Structure 1
Amino acid sequence: MPDPDQNIIADLRDENKRDLAFHVLVKTYQERLYWHIRKIVMNHDDTDDILQNTFMKVWRNIDKFREESSLYTWLYRIATNESISFLNSKKKKHMMALSEDSDYLVENLRSDPYYSGDDIQMKLQEAILRLPEKQRLVFNMKYFDELKYDDMSQILDTSVGALKASYHHATKKIEEYLKNTD
């Protein structure tokens, strides 16, 4: 059975099929990428903007996609990089220190009218947001997105061993945070 992503890639590279193929790509990956980005920036409007930038970057760069990874992995990498760039520009614009970064994200979470979690879920999200950026990314990708370490390695350009260590440290910090906030 042919890989549906291979068909999307081939159609994206065909001038006559490009528009329809792009529509299929967006329809296929929009929701997963939305939630991946949302867990990074914690704001619906910012997530929509970053998602749009991600798909625009895909549209402009599909000819440069060398297929060394899966289409899904490539999309996640672009979305992750766009999200990190967005947060970094926010930090610069507001002259935030690294410690204020998590405060900013927690405030986004608390003031989000679309957030519907209970107190326990809020505490878990706050614990995750208090992690260093890389540990937060790794934890979200492994725990919520259920990505394999090999895919995460390609997305984040990091060794599998480093990712496993980051995940381990993240889970320990989350456990500690949850124990100390009761």
Structure 2
Amino acid sequence: MFGRKKQDDIEAQRARFSSAVAAYDRQLYWHIRRLVVVHEDAADILQNTYVAAWEHYSELRDKSAILSWLYRIATREAHNHLRKVTKYAAQDIDVETSEELQRRYQNETLTGDEITQLLQKAIFTLTEAQRVAFNLRYYDEMNYKEIANVMNISESTAKVHYHNAKQRIEQYLKEYE
């Protein structure tokens, strides 16, 4: 009888975890993808995130906080990946110099793709902490409390990272007006 209850608990835990994975899979993928850029790397990191999450799922005290917990694991896995590679993903992008960009975009109306590309280049000039804070706020529309929880920092530090990121991006983009 004791064994059956344990088995039922494991099945219930597995069902809750599977439900969370299904609900947040796309969000987590795009969060990771914005950090590492390459699809294959993002897919691998997402799988590593789920493995790490499953291994520690029973330790999660507040099951309602699973999204921020998964984001924290995904962010850590992405940072671990970036540290392992010899060059950051930003270096794999054809980064033009400021002068080349200014010549290219001077007196031109930018298309949506060009604006997106320019924004991504600006984001890659940020520190890791600024990039994560900016991505979580701008793309995932998290509030500062949620960002702080994901990044395991204080709310005021999350605000500072986002504010500094926003200023650096604005400065970067002003060079191409």
Q: Is the TM-score greater than 0.5? A: yes
C-alpha separation between the residues in 2 aligned to 1:179 and 1:102?
Answer: 24
Counterpart for residue 129 of structure 1: 124
C-alpha separation between the residues in 2 aligned to 1:40 and 1:181?
Answer: 24
The 1:103/1:42 distance shift into structure 2, 3 A limit, reads closer
Aligned counterpart for 2:43 among listed residues 40, 44, 48: 48
> TM-score scaled to structure 1, two decimals?
0.77
Counterpart for residue 106 of structure 1: 93
The 1:25/1:134 distance shift into structure 2, 3 A limit, reads same
Q: SS of the counterpart of 2:61?
A: coil
Q: How far 1:68 sits from its partner (Å)?
A: 8.4
Counterpart for residue 86 of structure 1: 81
Q: Is the 8 A contact 2:145 2:155 kept in 1?
A: yes
Q: How far 1:107 sits from its partner (Å)?
A: 4.8
- Aligned-pair identity in percent equals 38
C-alpha separation between the residues in 1 aligned to 2:84 and 2:171?
Answer: 30
Which AA in structure 2 matches 1:130?
T
Counterpart for residue 114 of structure 1: none
Q: Which runs of 5 or more residues in structure 2 are unaligned?
A: 1-7, 96-111
Which AA in structure 2 matches 1:104?
Q
Q: SS of the counterpart of 1:181?
A: coil
> TM-score scaled to structure 2, two decimals?
0.79
Q: How far 1:16 sits from its partner (Å)?
A: 2.8
- RMSD of aligned Cα (Å): 2.2
Q: SS of the counterpart of 1:17?
A: helix
Q: SS of the counterpart of 2:10?
A: coil
C-alpha separation between the residues in 2 aligned to 1:39 and 1:135?
Answer: 13
Q: Is the 8 A contact 1:37 1:80 kept in 2?
A: yes
Q: Which runs of 5 or more residues in structure 1 are unaligned?
A: 1-12, 109-116
Which AA in structure 1 matches 2:66?
L
Q: How many residues align?
A: 154
- Considering only CA atoms, is the larger Rg found in Structure 1 or Structure 2? 2
Q: Is the 8 A contact 2:69 2:150 kept in 1?
A: yes
Counterpart for residue 171 of structure 1: 166
Alignment of 1:24-39 (within 5 A): 24-39=19-34
Which AA in structure 2 matches 1:154?
N
Counterpart for residue 15 of structure 1: 10
